[in-house]
């Protein structure tokens, strides 16, 4: 049985107060809180194992290396990749996308070639490509979405693929709308035309089972801090055939095979893409977070969070002037509800909710083109995690009513 009250005991921060009110933390799409298990594992490593990895012959270095590479294997299992060589550690989803953008465009694209993204992308999956457009003359095109926050039909998506499309890069789940995009269908029609696909999994990896082999994506990126792990660590999965083709993203220690003044040769995968000292304690923390999630059961977590999403949407719709953005069918979205109320500015709503102890996110959520599409400046966003409760949603709804009465 899924015992959310027992789970909450693993997250001490959830028992604190803000402005004299019990904390209601509903900003999980930005970052999740960390369980004691993750904090204890990282503290233990710093206290007893700390040493730089891969380079030392001494005991501590070997022990730290074993933990670091065990974390890589843990990630491989989590996303069902074939090989640890396909698991590249990065600082997060943003760096993972930038890595692909820089290396793919350098080696696989020419002036006039196109990258296709969607209208609901996070800035990380827009600006990364725009930087390459400025450098290399490529084009960034976007798939439009429907008024209810869904992508067009697969047939319409296929028609958007041109002879110059070299890559499709798409969010698995929108960080604003919560829309769960049909990535398997997108990958299928792209592959029929020989086009690889990158999936931004920042908002999906914390909430559902990920199987990159079944999905058949060529690249998949996600962050540790959104799935109960530490900040500053993330993962890029890439099919071995693609990672072999791409040049290194950065130069320095660890990513080299041999350096001479005449020529440098590069290390084997995945180390070719991991220049410098990795955050080996954070990788251990990420692996521990994966252990924590899987011990609870990914299906159970998803069912709990989907129920929270459905319940939140039902309750919010009882408020006068409520506007919810994205799919109104809760089965088509995941763990995120964005809204505005009447003419109340989203920042005012968020600030006053904060005084009631309710932490939500306000603004454009690093998705300004999406805000332009919706003809708004921003939204209030409530996002859920495995430790949230229906009682917290009741508190949110009561808080919104109270703020609304002030206006």
Active site residues: 366
User: Tokens 């086009």 map to which residue?
Assistant: 195
222, 235 Cβ separation under 8 angstroms: yes
Q: Which helix (H) or strand (E) holds 398?
A: helix 390-406
Give the CA dihedral 394, 407, 376, 92, nearest 10 degrees.
Answer: -40
Instruction: Name the percent of the chain in helix, strand, coil, to the closest 5.
Output: 45, 20, 40
Kindly give the pairing relationship between strand 264-266 and strand 256-259: antiparallel
- For residue 270, say if its preceding peptide bond is cis, omega within 30 degrees of 0: yes
Query: Which of 128, 118, 226 has the alpha carbon at shortest distance from 172?
Result: 118
Q: Which two tokens mark 238?
A: 């890439």
Query: Which of 302, 301, 297, 290 has the alpha carbon at shortest distance from 223?
Result: 290
User: Tokens 């964005």 map to which residue?
Assistant: 338
Name, in order, each residue with C-beta under 8 angstroms of 300's C-beta and a sequence gap of 6 or more: 2
Q: Tally helices (H) and strands (E) across the chain.
A: 14, 17
Q: Which of left, alpha, beta for 321 (phi over 0: left; psi -120 to 50: alpha)?
A: left
Beta carbons within 10 angstroms of residue 55's beta carbon: 11
Strands (E), 114-215: 114-118, 139-143, 165-171, 197-200
Q: Is residue 65 helix, strand or coil?
A: helix
Q: Which two tokens mark 143?
A: 């798939």
Q: 88: which DSSP letter?
A: E
* DSSP codes, 38-57: HHHHHHHHHHHT---SSS--
CB-based burial label for 30 (10 Å; 0-12, 13-18, 19+):
middle
User: Tokens 């969070």 map to which residue?
Assistant: 305
């Amino acid at each position: 049985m899924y015992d959310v009250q027992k789970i909450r005991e693993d997250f001490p921060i959830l028992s604190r107060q803000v402005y004299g009110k019990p904390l209601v933390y509903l900003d999980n799409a930005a970052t999740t809180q960390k369980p004691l298990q993750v904090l204890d594992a990282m503290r233990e490593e710093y206290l007893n194992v700390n040493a730089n990895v891969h380079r030392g012959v001494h005991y501590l270095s070997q022990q730290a290396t074993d933990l670091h590479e065990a974390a890589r294997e843990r990630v491989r299992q989590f996303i069902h990749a074939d090989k640890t060589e396909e698991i590249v550690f990065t600082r997060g989803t943003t760096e993972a996308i930038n890595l692909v953008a820089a290396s793919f465009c350098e080696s696989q694209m020419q002036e006039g070639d196109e990258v296709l993204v969607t209208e609901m992308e996070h800035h990380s999956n827009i600006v990364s490509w725009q930087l390459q457009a400025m450098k290399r003359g490529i084009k960034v095109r976007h798939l439009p979405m429907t008024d209810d926050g869904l992508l067009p039909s697969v047939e319409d998506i296929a028609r958007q693929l041109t002879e110059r499309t070299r890559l499709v890069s798409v969010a698995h789940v929108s960080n604003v709308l919560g829309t769960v995009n049909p990535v398997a269908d997108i990958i299928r029609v792209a592959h029929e035309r020989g086009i690889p696909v990158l999936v931004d999994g920042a908002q999906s990896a914390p909430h559902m089972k990920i199987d990159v082999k079944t999905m058949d994506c060529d690249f998949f990126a996600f962050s540790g801090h959104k799935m109960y792990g530490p900040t500053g660590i993330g993962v890029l999965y890439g099919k071995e055939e693609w990672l072999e083709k791409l040049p290194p993203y950065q130069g320095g220690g660890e990513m080299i095979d041999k350096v001479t003044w005449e020529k440098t040769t590069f290390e084997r995968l995945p180390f070719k893409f991991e220049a410098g000292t990795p955050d080996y304690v954070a990788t251990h923390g990420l692996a521990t977070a994966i252990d924590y999630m899987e011990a609870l059961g990914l299906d159970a977590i998803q069912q709990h969070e989907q129920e929270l999403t459905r319940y939140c949407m039902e309750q919010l719709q009882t408020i006068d002037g409520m506007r919810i953005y994205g799919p109104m069918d809760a089965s088509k979205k995941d763990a995120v509800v964005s809204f505005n109320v009447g003419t109340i500015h989203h920042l005012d709503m968020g600030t006053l909710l904060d005084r009631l102890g309710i932490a939500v996110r306000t603004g454009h959520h690093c998705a300004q083109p999406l805000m332009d599409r919706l003809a708004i400046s921003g939204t209030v966003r409530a996002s859920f995690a495995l430790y949230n409760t229906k009682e917290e949603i009741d508190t949110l709804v009561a808080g919104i009513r109270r703020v609304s009465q002030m206006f």
